[in-house]
Amino acid sequence: GLVRSASTELYRHGVRVNALVPNGYTRMTETVPEEHRPYTREEMPPERVAPMVAYLASDAAEDVTGCTLYAGGDRVGVLSDPEVERVGVRPGGWSLAELEETFREHVADDVELTRTERYF
């Protein structure tokens, strides 16, 4: 993706590129119905993301580039790179009409395409 490509291109110039997936209880979390909130403010204060941001900007992370990282609550981590789950091949490429007609059946059958929870 963009992070990996940019880090590859910019590394020789001393520029590091990473993505951070922050997780914390914010005002936006309060808009989610209480029964769907995965954590409390005490468990996931947003301030706990800041040390990872500072670390990534520090010399201690001079060799950290091209990564997608996570910070939230008492956890930090590195997310795995996306992998292709299933491939459909059509000699000559795919038209919009062909994708609309066959994508779900032949390529994405039983693959979860909605990656976020819907609360409303």
pLDDT in tens, 83-113: 887 888 889 999 999 998 888 887 777 666 6
Express as a percent the part of the chain with pLDDT over 70.
Answer: 91
At a CB cut-off of 8 Å and minimum separation 6, what does 79 contact? Answer: 21, 67, 68, 69, 70
pLDDT in tens, 75-89: 999 998 888 878 888
For each of the domains in the chain, give its residue range(s) and CATH number, in order of start.
Answer: 2-78 (3.40.50.720)
